[in-house]
Every structure is written in C-alpha cells, then in structure tokens.
Structure 1
Amino acid sequence: MTPAPIVIVAAPFSGSSWLAGVLGTQPGLYAVPQLCAFMADRVDELLQIFALSQDEHGDGLHRTVAELYFGGQQDEQLQAARGWLVERRGRLVGELLDELAAKVAPRRLVIPETEAPLRPIQLRRLRQWRADTQFIHLHRHPWSQGCRFAAWLQDRLFVPIDYRDYSRYPPLPDPQIPWLRANETLDRFFATLPDVSVLRIASEAFDEDFRAALTRLADFLQLGGDAAAWASLRDASDWIYAARGPRAAPGGLEAEVWAPWSDEVERLAQVPQLDAALPWRPDGLGFDPAVVALARRYAYR
C-alpha cells in the first residue's frame, strides 16, 4: 500500500492551488495540479467528459502524466500522455490514481480539489478511492473569495449554471453560491464520516501567521521534525506545476493563481465584511443569510 494521499478540498478561489504548490516543494510530498478525476467512475468516461468540456478540466491530469511518465509538459510529452491515458480507458479512475500514487511513492500524493466539493457524488467517489485519505478543508472569507472570483467571472464566456442567481433575469453570476454549496457539502460529508481524518483551516491563517499555520498543518499530516525547516516558505514558484502549461494543456491550477486583479478588486478583497452590500451585485443586496451563518461558524466577522 502506498502512503496515504492528501486531498485539499475547497470552494473555488480559496487558495487550494497555492497551498498545493507550497506542499509540493517539499521532498516527502508530491503535489499535482487539479486532476478533476472524480467526475467519473471509469477512465473512458472521464476522457469523454474532458473532450466535451468547455473548460480546462483535463489539463491537470494530462500535465501530471506527461511530467511523471514522459519527463516534461511540452507538446510532445502531452501527446504521449494522451496515449498513455487512452491505453487505460478500461480501468477505474481509482486504479489510475493508485498508479500515480505508486509512481511518486514513497512521497505522498497531494491533490487539490475544487470540483468535488460542489458535487456530492464526486466526494463519494473520492472517499471510495482510499479510506485512509487525509483531508484539508481550506476555506476563505466569502467576501474576499467573492471579490476576486466575481472579477474573474466577468470576463468568462462560459459560467457554470450553478454559479448563477436565477432570481434575476438574466441570471447573475454570484460567487457566494458556489462558496456556500461547496462548504455546506463538505461539512455534511465529513459529518457522516466519523473516522475521517480532516483538518479545517482558513486560508487567512497563512497570512496572519504563516509559520504557525503551516506547523499546525504539518502536525496534522504527521510530517515530523522536518516541518520546521520549511515553515518559512511562502513561494510556490519552484513547484513543477506552478506555471501555466503549453497551449495544448495550459490549465490545471485555479485561475486565481495567475488572474490579473485590478488594484480596486484587491483593495476590496482585503477588507472583508459580512453585513455590507456586495460590490459585484448591481442590486445592492448583501450575503444570503445562510452564507452569513456559515461564515460566522467558521469564525469570520
């Protein structure tokens, strides 16, 4: 059996790719981009979903296979990775992930995941894969998350239907919807699994006291004394997946990693509030009461 995997679960734009990158620079861990692997049970189904997707869902898996098995992430290696995955189209996705975990062993596989928290069936598949998985539930204040997410959504031609507020016409993209859905789904999921190993931590904790937050994380993951040696690291640029991939597979990381925020968006994001009108809504409304209630449970004000 390979070492227990680590899965960072979070709502979109909560910092999961950044945290994976920080962990991925450490010798005992191997962090990959977002694989979106739990969208299907079988590899052939997963590849069909990737082919039909209007987004970059398949890029992270292709980049990972290209890097691990073919020594790089350029067009030639990506083409070889596609063939490698097609050869395994008859397998279960869990078997594919087992193969990746074995490839990086004795390092522990670290997977950031922002798709599964929005889809309970994907969380069930994740749980069925490895019962010994350790989960990091990363969350961010809905205001800070929403300011950045809303700015990115403005330039998107394709916005998932479940990111939209249908009380208006035309429906309005609203980042508080996926924030609430993802975090509520994760809370319910973990509540039904009393034996699950999960740490809930705020992304703001790394801004407030990076060393303390990372030490807490290292203790949870039982990384031992080596944690102190990397508790001062904040820069994930050395992570092998930190940059965008080539044209054939540019994605794999959350867009917040490279999205160019305006000074105004960043200024708003740095002053989180729960009781003010939302700057991304033209109707002057604030957060839904359910969002406020959950945010307060997470100790946000």
Structure 2
Amino acid sequence: MPDPLFIIAPGRSYTSLVGGMIGQHPDIYGLPEVNLSAIDTMGQLLQRLQGPFDFGLAGLLRLLAELHEGEQSEEAVVRARQWLSERRHWTTREMWDHLQEEVGDKIMLEKSPLNNFRIEHLRRLLDIFPNASFLHLTRHPGTAGKSSMALREQLREGRGAGGEGQKTRSMDPEQGWLRAQKNIMEFWHDLSVGQYMRVKAEMLLREPEFYLGQICEWLGIRTDAEAIEAMLHPEASPYACMGPPSAKFGNDPNFLKNPVIDFDRLKKIKEPPLEAGAEWRGGEAFYKDTLKLARQFGYA
C-alpha cells in the first residue's frame, strides 16, 4: 500500500483549499479531517471529541459513511457512529489500516490542524507511517491571524463549525501560528531526506499549475495535464460540501460552503510587509520568533 501524505500547517493556512486540490489527483484520495493524531485508541477519540467538541468527529464519520456505504446521508452517518463505537478497542494504527484498505491503492491525504498542535501528534503519525510524506504549507502570520479572527467571530455568532453557543479559544492567533510552526520545524529534523517539502501557500495559489506539478514530481505521481486539471476542481470531492445534520463539517466551513476555486481572487493574494504587524492588535509588532520564522519561510 502507498504511504500517506500529510499537509502540516497552522490553522487558517489555506490547507482546506490546497488539500482539496491535491486530493483530486487521480492517484490520491483526499480525506476530510479525521483527528486521529492525538489519540491511541478509538475509545480515547470518542471520549475526547464529545459534548461541545463533537463536531471534531464529523470528518471521520463522513469518511466512514462514504467508504462503507457510498453516501453521507444522516442515516449512513448514524450507522458510521455506531460502527465506530463498537470498535472503541481499536488502536489508531488499526483505524488507519482500515481506511487504507477501503481507499485501495491511492495515496491517502490528510490535513487535520490538530496534527500540529503538539509535536507528539506529528511523531505519532511518523511512528505509524515511517515513510509518509509531509507537505509543510506556510502562510503569512498577519493574514493567517486575520483569517483566524474572522472565523472566531463566525463561531461567536453561531454561523461556523461549532454552531450556536460554540466556545472559541482565546489564544492570540499569532501564538497559535508560532506554536504550530515551531512544532513543525522541530519535527522536520525527525524526517529523512525526501519526506518533507515546504511551499508558500500564497505562491501555490497564484500559480497552481506550476506548484501542483512540483508537488506531484516530489511524490512521484502523474504530472500530465489531465492530472493537473483534476486538481483544479476541489469541488469534485464528495467531502467538499456540508454534511448531514449530525456531521456537518470535517473541514473549514467556508470552504465547504464554496469549494469552487476563484482564480481571479487567488491571483490577487498579497503578502503584507511584516513590519505592518498584527492588524487584530492595532498593528502591534510581531514577536521576534515569529519574524525570524516568517523570514525563513520567505516573507519580508
């Protein structure tokens, strides 16, 4: 079976769009966010993602419903939840093995933001998949933070992934960006040559055909025009839409509501100067560590 591909990045780094694009390659199967990196058993997963955090199960439930029954109806999702509950004793490795068996000979692609929350999560993935590929997607800390604040406001107003009353984290988005990037850069040293590739999301989205081709070359998969064209249509994924009532999400809600690429908008993506600081803090300067990493990633 092929080794999987993980997109690793802080939240609000265009991972939903880029993951949706790459996931449409004929040799790849794009998964919704399954959140398996933080736990060792399915029982732990069900215990962790309950109550106000139950929405974190949506991606895995939709995936199981689609793989088992070829649909994501409310009834299929209910059966997927029951199936998962009956396998509380399964290890994370057993679940990954099952998913790969269902997917077949395609490369699984996964991009849960939870993967980057702790370096232990990344190392758990590497322990299960020692030959996996890791695509590090970067985004300017200023625009990523602004996007995070906008989503946070959606959640407060009950329009986002958590629905009415969903609690949101109070962490400053720069802190989240910095913590994830530090985890990724430390994890990078655990990898062998060829397992890691870093790409600026802004550049990829401005010139998708070129950078998608480079990613395909790195992975050793098809780079022909038909394969590249398929990746320009993330809306073709069965997961690129809202799910049934009990499993609505499994990805960025804004992407799920409108997964079709707006090429004109993407060409206008800009990278503000780092000296502009954090807009959500009135232009206050970024932390020194943030500036150091951002410059290392090619931002100025």
TM-score by length of 2: 0.87
Shift of 1:275: 0.6
Give the 3 Å change call, closer, same or farther, for CA 176–255 of structure 1 in structure 2. Answer: farther
> Does residue 187 of structure 2 align to residue 178 of structure 1?
no
Q: What are the residue-to-residue correspondences of 1:49-60 with 2, within 5 Å? A: 49-54=48-53, 56-60=55-59
2:188 to 183, 190, 204: 190
CA distance in 2, matches of 1:38, 1:75: 26
> Does residue 238 of structure 2 align to residue 229 of structure 1?
no
Which residue number corresponds to residue 291 of structure 1? 290
Which residue number corresponds to residue 169 of structure 1? none
Q: What are the residue-to-residue correspondences of 1:2-17 with 2, within 5 Å? A: 2-17=1-16
Q: Is the 8 A contact 2:42 2:88 kept in 1?
A: yes
1:206 to 195, 204, 211: 204
Shift of 1:120: 1.6
Shift of 1:201: 0.8
Give a deviation string over 1:56-103, Cα, whole Å, max 9, x none. 211100000010002211110001101111222111011101110111
Q: What are the residue-to-residue correspondences of 1:26-37 with 2, within 5 Å? A: 26-37=25-36
Structure 1 regions of 5+ residues with no counterpart?
Answer: 165-173, 261-265
**Percent same amino acid among aligned pairs?**
28
CA distance in 1, matches of 2:6, 2:285: 32
Q: Is the 8 A contact 1:190 1:196 kept in 2?
A: no
Which residue number corresponds to residue 273 of structure 1? 273
Read off the aligned partner of 1:121 and give its amino acid letter.
Answer: E
CA distance in 2, matches of 1:142, 1:88: 40
> Does residue 244 of structure 2 align to residue 246 of structure 1?
yes
Q: Is the 8 A contact 2:276 2:285 kept in 1?
A: yes
Aligned length, in residue pairs? 281
CA distance in 2, matches of 1:70, 1:36: 21
Q: What are the residue-to-residue correspondences of 1:19-168 with 2, within 5 Å? A: 19-54=18-53, 56-157=55-156, 158-160=167-169, 164=171
Shift of 1:55: 5.8
Give the 3 Å change call, closer, same or farther, for CA 126–240 of structure 1 in structure 2. Answer: same
Structure 2 regions of 5+ residues with no counterpart?
Answer: 157-166, 259-265
Q: Is the 8 A contact 1:25 1:238 kept in 2?
A: yes
CA distance in 2, matches of 1:181, 1:147: 17
How large is the RMSD of aligned CA atoms in angstroms? 2.1
CA distance in 1, matches of 2:128, 2:32: 18
Shift of 1:225: 4.2
Give the 3 Å change call, closer, same or farther, for CA 92–296 of structure 1 in structure 2. Answer: same
| Other structure's SS at 2:276 match | coil
Q: Is the 8 A contact 2:271 2:299 kept in 1?
A: no
Which residue number corresponds to residue 261 of structure 2? none
| Other structure's SS at 1:38 match | coil
Q: Is the 8 A contact 1:8 1:136 kept in 2?
A: yes
Q: Is the 8 A contact 1:143 1:269 kept in 2?
A: no
Runs of 4+ in 1 over 6 A off after TM superposition: none
Shift of 1:259: 7.6
Give a deviation string over 1:151-184, Cα, whole Å, max 9, x none. 11134342235xx2xxxxxxxxx21111111111
Shift of 1:121: 1.8
CA distance in 2, matches of 1:56, 1:290: 33
CA distance in 2, matches of 1:79, 1:9: 30
Read off the aligned partner of 1:191 and give its amino acid letter.
Answer: H
Q: Is the 8 A contact 1:148 1:256 kept in 2?
A: no
Shift of 1:207: 2.5
Give the 3 Å change call, closer, same or farther, for CA 218–202 of structure 1 in structure 2. Answer: same
Q: Is the 8 A contact 1:12 1:254 kept in 2?
A: no
Q: Is the 8 A contact 2:202 2:269 kept in 1?
A: no
Q: Is the 8 A contact 1:10 1:113 kept in 2?
A: no
CA distance in 1, matches of 2:235, 2:113: 21
Give the 3 Å change call, closer, same or farther, for CA 206–286 of structure 1 in structure 2. Answer: same
1:257 to 240, 255, 258: 255
Read off the aligned partner of 2:273 and give its amino acid letter.
Answer: Q
Q: Is the 8 A contact 2:242 2:257 kept in 1?
A: no
